[in-house]
């Protein structure tokens, strides 16, 4: 038995049955990281000693028969979550020296339930990117290879690229991510694993480095839908420290994975097609609808007319919020400082040295669209279009229980592709952004391969706070897809 | 709306990010390409639509206006690039 090949649920059951210890399980993952991380660059910080301490503590608890939902299970934590005493950089030089004196609520919830943290996962700088190419700590390699052109180094997607690559390559049983416009779902699709962005407000944002506060939402990655359900059950919940976190009960998401889709109405939105989108993706989408029909669901053709304006609206709203949130990086209180003759020069030099090109672009766009004279033309108009995007979803959810779409308009692309034009990169999030703008939950499930042997995901979108239906439908897709192809680069291979 | 070089410098100054003279032309091209693409929002009819400020479809919770946390001077200052006692140090701002 290779411990790194277990699912999270399988590893939990093995620990409880005393088939192996958390120390053995954690060590197997640390050895896999040691072997593969120099190439994949999925982790920016590996907490070797701390992870083993947590594992030994978990073994004591398990020995007493006191295990909780995640006791002894090793996870990767996106480097956007503040972890007490462990460097947290958000993929940026400006936070290079930052060691949080506190723990984010989501990671505190995972620790409460006994999880072991292997380290911090690489990511696009401040979660701004769709390829992990904007990280100050270097690109992440996708563990998958093209059948033709196996030498090409592919991106894992972004912004949670390190989390997705780590789980796909079996360096962790699961991982945390965050999703502002697709940063969990797109990398899940590119890396052939599952990932869910829950409803805005389901997970606390306290202690998560802020990018766009009206959109940011934490969620899990894992290799199965059920594993994601187990992780989300632990991460979610009301937090008085985040005024936008929802004070509603957290249901048993794992139980929802075992329910069927018979009698459900699943919408297929006709706008989720793009000129030049590969035939493989259209074919897989049709196949996915067919699987759900065979499982007893009714497939309904629906329309979300403002879909195409999602990305443009996003690139006003998200930069506006980012320019405001990132104003805190001033070289005075924490993080990088570049000295200047006066305070203003200190600010300007610190921020010029600390922010990468994409982050600087978004701060400048955001500053412009919020500046006097342009606010109404850009920001206010975008907020009105955002209301129309939400209305599309509200109306369609009076007719259907969930939506099925492709997750991304392409499979993983090569490092360096889509880098010449920012807008080309932004369009990779065309199918994930609308759900973010509306705040509704969306999950990517690995469903098939393209002609080149690369994984493709299908996205299931649900009603606000109805992640249970998202898990039910996603599990049905997973059962029918029987996706079992493995990436070329993985632990033990 | 197209940005000229002076506007790029003005935005950078508002955002407190130093931009080298040699970078202005490239930034101008990139920002104009993004803003030009964003113009497509002008084709959407938004008459009578209320702007949506956030995704949370719920009223914000209220609580008593009392101090509930704090007293972590050392923790808060632990990450300061430069400090003196329990103060942050910055270049002189008042002559």
Q: Following DSSP, what letter does each residue of A145-213 receive, concatenated? A: --SSSTTPPBP--SSSHHHHHHHHTTS-SEEEEEESSSTTHHHHHHHT-EEEE--TTSS--TTBPPS-T
Q: How far is A147 from chain B (nearest CA, A)?
A: 35
Q: In chain A, which among 176-235 make CB contacts under 8 A with chain B? A: 200-201, 214-215
Q: What is the pLDDT of residue B56?
A: 66
If pLDDT is split at 50, 70 and 90, which confidence band does A105 have? Answer: very high
Kindly state whether residue A181 falls inside one of the protein's structural domains. Answer: yes
Q: Point out the residue among A244, A334, A363 whose CB comes nearest to the CB of B56.
A: A244
β A194-197/A455-462 pair status: unpaired
Classified as helix, coil or strand, B19 is coil
Distance CA A232, CA A236 (A): 6
CB–CB of A363 and B41 under 8 A?
no
In a domain, A197, yes or no: yes
A474: annotated active-site residue: no
User: What is the total count of domains within chain A?
Assistant: 1
Give the per-residue pLDDT at A19.
97
Average pLDDT over residues A6-16: 98
Report the distance separating Cα A391 and Cα A313, nearest Å. 14
Check: CB of residue A336 under 8 Å from CB of residue A94.
Answer: yes
Q: Using DSSP, how many helices (H) and how many strands (E) does chain A show?
A: 16, 11
Q: Model confidence over A323-371: pLDDT tens digits?
A: 999 999 999 999 999 999 999 999 999 999 999 999 999 999 999 999 9
pLDDT computed for residue A12 by the predictor? 98
Return the pLDDT at A1: 65
Establish if A150 belongs to a structural domain. yes
Which residues 338-397 on chain A approach chain B with CB closer than 8 angstroms?
339-349, 351-352, 355, 360-361, 363-365, 367-368, 371, 374, 377-378, 380-388, 390
B62 pLDDT tier (thresholds 50, 70, 90): confident
- Indicate the DSSP class of residue A380: I
Q: Which of B18, B59, B66, B73 to mutate to test the interface with A (most CBs of A within 10 A)?
A: B18
Q: What is the pLDDT of residue B1?
A: 59
Residue A213 lies inside a defined structural domain of this protein = yes
Kindly identify which residue of chain A lies nearest to residue B8, measuring between CA atoms: A364
Contacts of A364 in chain B (CB under 8 A): 8, 11-12, 15, 17, 27, 31
In a domain, A87, yes or no: yes
Q: How many CA atoms lie within 13 A of A228 on its CB side?
A: 35
Q: Is pLDDT of A143 > 70?
A: yes
Residues A53-68, buried b or exposed e (16+ Cβ, 10 A)? ebbebbbeebeeeebe
CATH of the domain at A158: 3.90.1300.10
Residue A61 lies in a domain: yes
CB contact under 8 A, A464 and B30: no
- Does residue A244 form part of some domain? yes
Q: What's the confidence (pLDDT) of residue B2?
A: 84
**Residue pLDDT, tens place only, A191-220:** 999 999 999 999 999 999 999 999 999 999
Distances (CA, A) of A134 to A102, A127, A359: 26, 9, 8
Calculate how close chain A gets to B6, using CA atoms only, in Å: 13
Residue in B16, B55, B81 nearest the CB of A337: B81
pLDDT tens string A247-285: 999 999 999 999 999 999 999 999 999 888 899 999 999
Terminal CA-to-CA distance of chain B, rounded, Å?
Answer: 42
Residues of chain A with C-beta less than 8 angstroms from the C-beta of B30: 361, 422
Structural domain range at position A250: 3-262+462-481
Instruction: Choose the catalytic residue: A22, A183, A189, A234.
Output: A183
Structure tokens at A482: 């029987």
Mutation site, B41, B43, B78, interface A, largest A CB count within 10 A: B41
Side-chain half-sphere exposure of A306, counting CA atoms within 13 A = 29
Q: Are A441 and A196 in contact (CB under 8 A)?
A: yes
Within 10 Å of residue A148's Cβ, how many Cβ atoms?
A: 9
Is 70 exceeded by the pLDDT of residue A239? yes
Q: Is A349 part of the annotated catalytic residue set?
A: no
Nearest to B55 among A421, A422, A439 (CB): A439
**Options A78, A145, A197, A463, the catalytic residue:** A78
The answer to whether A127 faces chain B, any CB pair under 8 Å, is: no
Chain B residue with minimal CA distance to A316? B38
Assign A418 a pLDDT band (cuts: 50, 70, 90): confident
Using CB atoms, which residue from A99, A388, A438 is nearest to B55? A438
pLDDT tens column, B5-46: 999 999 999 999 999 999 999 999 999 999 999 999 999 999
Residue A159 known to be catalytic: yes
Mutate to test the interface with B, among A180, A323, A384, A439 (most CBs of B within 10 A): A384
Mean pLDDT across chain B, nearest whole number? Answer: 92
* B30: closest CA of chain A, how far (Å): 8
Euclidean distance between CA atoms A315 and A313, whole angstroms = 5
Chain A nearest-CA residue for B7? A368
């Amino acid at each position: 038995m290779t411990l790194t090949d277990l699912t999270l649920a399988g590893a939990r059951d093995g620990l409880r049955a005393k088939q192996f210890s958390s120390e053995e399980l954690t060590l197997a993952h640390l050895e896999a990281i040691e072997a593969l991380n120099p190439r994949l660059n999925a982790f920016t910080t590996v907490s070797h000693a701390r992870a083993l301490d947590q594992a030994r503590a978990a073994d004591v608890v398990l020995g007493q028969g006191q295990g909780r939902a995640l006791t002894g299970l090793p996870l990767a934590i996106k480097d956007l979550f503040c972890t007490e005493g462990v460097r947290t950089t958000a993929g940026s030089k400006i936070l290079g020296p930052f060691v949080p004196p506190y723990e984010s609520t989501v990671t505190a919830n995972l620790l409460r339930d006994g999880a072991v943290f292997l380290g911090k996962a690489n990511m696009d700088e401040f979660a701004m990117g769709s390829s992990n190419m904007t990280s100050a700590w270097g690109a992440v390699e996708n563990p998958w290879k093209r059948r033709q052109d196996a030498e090409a180094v592919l991106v894992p997607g972004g912004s949670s690229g390190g989390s997705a690559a780590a789980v796909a390559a079996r360096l962790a049983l699961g991982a945390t991510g965050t999703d502002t416009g697709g940063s969990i779902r797109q990398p899940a699709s590119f890396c052939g694993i599952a990932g869910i962005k829950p409803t805005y407000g389901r997970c606390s944002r306290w202690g998560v480095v802020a990018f766009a506060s009206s959109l940011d939402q934490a969620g899990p990655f894992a290799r199965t839908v059920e594993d994601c359900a187990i992780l989300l059950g632990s991460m979610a919940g009301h937090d008085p420290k985040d005024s936008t976190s929802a004070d509603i009960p957290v249901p048993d998401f794992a139980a929802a994975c075992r329910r069927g889709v018979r009698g459900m109405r699943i919408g297929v939105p006709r706008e989720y097609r793009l000129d030049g989108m590969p035939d493989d993706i259209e074919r897989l989408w049709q196949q996915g609808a067919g699987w759900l029909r065979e499982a007893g669901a009714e497939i309904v053709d629906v329309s979300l007319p403002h879909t195409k304006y999602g990305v443009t609206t996003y690139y006003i709203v998200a930069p506006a919020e980012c320019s405001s949130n990132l104003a805190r990086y001033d070289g005075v209180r924490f993080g990088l400082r570049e000295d200047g003759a006066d305070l203003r020069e200190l600010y300007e030099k610190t921020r010029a040295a600390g922010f990468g090109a994409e982050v600087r672009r978004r701060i400048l766009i955001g500053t412009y669209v919020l500046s006097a004279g342009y606010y109404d033309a850009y920001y206010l108009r975008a907020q009105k279009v955002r209301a129309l995007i939400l209305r599309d979803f509200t109306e369609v959810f009076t007719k259907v229980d969930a939506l099925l779409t492709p997750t991304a308009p392409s499979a993983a692309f090569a490092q360096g592709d889509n880098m010449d034009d920012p807008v080309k990169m932004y369009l990779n999030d065309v199918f994930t952004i609308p759900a973010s703008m509306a705040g509704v939950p969306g999950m990517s499930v690995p469903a098939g391969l393209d002609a080149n042997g690369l994984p493709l995901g299908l996205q299931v979108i649900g009603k606000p706070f109805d992640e249970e239906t998202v898990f039910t439908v996603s599990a049905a897709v997973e059962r029918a897809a029987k996706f079992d192809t493995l990436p070329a680069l993985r632990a033990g291979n | 709306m197209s940005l000229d070089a002076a506007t790029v410098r003005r935005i950078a100054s508002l955002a407190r990010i130093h931009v080298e003279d040699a970078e202005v032309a490239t930034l101008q091209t990139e920002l104009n390409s993004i803003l030009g693409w964003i113009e497509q929002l002008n084709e959407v009819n938004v008459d009578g639509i209320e702007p949506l400020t956030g995704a949370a479809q719920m009223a914000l919770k209220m609580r008593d206006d009392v101090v509930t946390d704090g007293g972590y001077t050392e923790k808060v200052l632990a990450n300061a690039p430069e400090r003196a006692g329990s103060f942050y140090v910055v270049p002189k701002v008042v002559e």
